[in-house]
Structure 1
Amino acid sequence: MHSFFGVLPSFAAEKVLVRYGLFEESIPVADIRKYGETQKVSANLQSILGYLSPKEKQQLQDALQVKMSLDIVALDKLVNTQMGKQILYFASQAIARRDRASVQALRSAIILGAKSPEGLGLITFLEAYPSNELVIDVSKISKLAGMASSSSSSADAPPKDNVSSSPLGQIALQYQTLAVQNKQFSGCLFGDSISAGLGNTLGNGTFNFGLNGLSTISLLEQLKSLIPTKVKCEKAIIAIGGNDAWYGISDELFTKNLQEAIALVRTMGTKEIFLIPAFYSTAEASSDPTVSAPLPRVEQINALINQVGETEKVPVEAAAVAPLYENNVLKKDLTSDGDHLNAEGLKIYREALLKILQ
């Protein structure tokens, strides 16, 4: 691997140095792993967590739970594409190194982290980073985040589907096209961030095509990109609609898009297609337009899903995900932010999908 990546140190990161102006704090990677696994906080980590709000702490804890099982060959091809190199260069600007190997080091940590039995996650990335210390400049991260947000819609503008046009959406889709070339799967899942949160945990022979922020608009773009790869799916689940409700997509456009998506999936050799209703949020989240769609609009979208299912003779598996809700409202103990599922919620959702896929 070292000859493959070039001359890099043989050690991995033992500490993360967080730098913000004159402030610096060194945190052992082992402390971060312990916090992710047990939520026990070391003294060094506590000094960092003290600056975070309860919501930000929960987001960090959620991020530490993400472990992606990735196709190493496809991932290696991806980081060598022009887009992959650009994103690595973009991210490397927030990492301080004395040499000029920031991009190379990031690439190494991603590939080696993905080879971990746990899959690629924040912790396995840190443990694979080829330096005994990873120096992160928070001020540069803030600047880079600002640059990224300024290139998209304004914070005051209504949310919209930009999955296929955003760099992260493009690279996620490009990874999928590389990973499924000429492959056949017993089950395929198409969905938004809630489905994406499952990762590839539906068993061997399945593939999760879930993408954050996906609505029927980008679902069509995704399917049109996948079909030329000649990927085949014996069974397919389409779990879509929540973002369509949030983005304000009209009834006519949603219906048209969903019908077209079903037609495209059928061209992938699919024998059975199942629809999952749009996911409800909590009442509190639904009242905040920056977080989620109003619950009445989600109900309207679900009525349209039922109509499309009847027209296309595709079953709508509402009963399968019913345990997530109470009176069409997401149960508070199954979510960390009112809109997405926590570990217990994802467990219920996963079991529902496994029953559908048999």
Structure 2
Amino acid sequence: MSGCLIFSLLHSVPSLAAEKIVFRYGLFEQSVPVADIRNYGETQKASSDLQSFLNYLSPKEKQRFQDALKVKMSLDIAALDKLINTGMGKQILSFASQAIARRDQASIQALRSAIILGAKSPEGLGITSFLEAYPSSQLVVDVSKIQKLVGMANLSSGSADATPKDDVSSSPLGQIALQYQILAVQDKRFSGCLFGDSVSAELGNTLGNGTFNFGLNGLSTISLVEQLKNLIPTKVKCEKTIIAIGGNDAWYKISDELFTKNLQEAIALIRTMGTKEIFLIPAFYSTVAASLDPTVSAPLPKVEQINVLINKVAETEKVPVAAAGLAPLYDNNVLKENLTSDGDHLNAEGLKIYREALLQILGK
């Protein structure tokens, strides 16, 4: 599953499209029709073939797989094409191709083709559109190699004895995502821009024409400042900007002083991008259960403390905190159970509420 996610985050025209994906682990192989994966993503109903594979996953892994199937990225094709031709893009393709078993030596070319054609599909680039664009009747994935690659790419989740930290700027996926943004926004002007963490990133570019979502998984004010410093040379302009940050700062245990300093610096940098209006979004709360698990989320009191700081910075910088539209997500500053799949992120219904709140701010 993680291998599929790697490919989705990354011009030949294929003569075939993948009809099935084969998971290989040593002598064991499990074949699943791609059509079954699409149907599962749309209906959550698993065929017998897919169910036999899902039986090997934990309930949490199954939920993550379902959530991953819902991700459909609307990407700038020209920027994506440039990205996969950069040194970094070629490295990612070469890296991911190690988990693909082919009789020929065309793994990298096949990945390139599937990414570009998958991104050109009406629904955008996702796991299913990638698979349906893969230029072979089947995609054979070596699970043991995926596990090794995932560990090398720092994609594994934190553990109880490892303090989570901001590695957006140093991780391969963080670097490739930022490089895509740099290529996609060069010399462009947007009516609305959104900067945020994984909750915002889940929205994709669904805020309407003339907007851009700069959300990145794992983003805190530390990596936000770095992101802005990389974007400013592109001469991108944003008329309205929304900053939705803070949850990861609480999770990473960033000090009050550093958070305040970083947020003020981020606001100053955004003002150099021609922004006329800046809005702050309070840090997102999790469920009680998630807040008690240090590998998942920050303690609720720490998030509350971050939100106090956000209000103080807003007062100092004379920018509004747009909190009213998010109120339906919570009960007494606790994320509602029916609006999340993992206690920390929003499900489809939760994202709908969040998106509507953002559209109200942007006047769309």
Q: TM-score, with normalisation over the residues of structure 2? A: 0.95
CA change 1:9–1:223 in 2 (3 A) is closer
Counterparts of 1:139-218 in structure 2 under 5 Å?
A: 139-149=144-154, 156-218=161-223
Match of 1:125 in 2: 130
C-alpha offsets along residues 243-295 of structure 1, whole Å, 9 cap, x if unaligned? 00000100000000000100100110000000000000000000011110000
Give the Å deviation of 1:134.
0.4
Deviates more, 1:24-33 or 1:119-128: 24-33
For 1:29, which of 28, 34, 38 is the aligned residue? 34
- What one-letter code is carried by the residue in structure 2 that aligns with 1:170? Q
Give the Å deviation of 1:155.
6.8
Match of 1:115 in 2: 120
- Asked if 1:244 is matched to 2:237, the reply is no
- Percent identity of paired positions between Structure 1 and Structure 2: 82
- What one-letter code is carried by the residue in structure 2 that aligns with 1:167? P
- What one-letter code is carried by the residue in structure 1 that aligns with 2:241? A
- Asked if 1:338 is matched to 2:343, the reply is yes
- Asked if 1:89 is matched to 2:94, the reply is yes
Give the Å deviation of 1:152.
11
- What one-letter code is carried by the residue in structure 1 that aligns with 2:296? V
CA contact (8 A) 2:158 2:295 kept: no
CA contact (8 A) 2:153 2:171 kept: no
State how far apart, in whole Å, the 2-side matches of 1:155 and 1:177 are: 35
State how far apart, in whole Å, the 2-side matches of 1:229 and 1:307 are: 31
Consecutive aligned runs of 4 or more in structure 1 exceeding 6 Å deviation: 150-155
- Asked if 1:296 is matched to 2:289, the reply is no
Question: Which structure 1 segments of 5+ residues have no match?
Answer: none
- What one-letter code is carried by the residue in structure 2 that aligns with 1:262? I
Give 3-state SS (helix, strand or coil) of 1:95's partner: coil
CA contact (8 A) 2:219 2:248 kept: yes
Give 3-state SS (helix, strand or coil) of 2:153's partner: helix
State how far apart, in whole Å, the 2-side matches of 1:55 and 1:79 are: 32
- Asked if 1:276 is matched to 2:281, the reply is yes
CA contact (8 A) 2:278 2:320 kept: yes
State how far apart, in whole Å, the 1-side matches of 2:156 and 2:36 are: 36
CA change 1:9–1:324 in 2 (3 A) is closer
For 2:332, which of 311, 327, 342 is the aligned residue? 327
C-alpha offsets along residues 326-357 of structure 1, whole Å, 9 cap, x if unaligned? 00000000000000000000000000000000
State how far apart, in whole Å, the 2-side matches of 1:181 and 1:348 are: 31
Question: Which structure 2 segments of 5+ residues have no match?
Answer: 1-10
State how far apart, in whole Å, the 2-side matches of 1:306 and 1:320 are: 16
- What one-letter code is carried by the residue in structure 1 that aligns with 2:124? G
State how far apart, in whole Å, the 2-side matches of 1:166 and 1:155 are: 20
Tell me the number of residue pairs that the alignment of Structure 1 and Structure 2 aligns: 353
C-alpha offsets along residues 295-321 of structure 1, whole Å, 9 cap, x if unaligned? 000000000000000010100011121
- What one-letter code is carried by the residue in structure 2 that aligns with 1:96? A
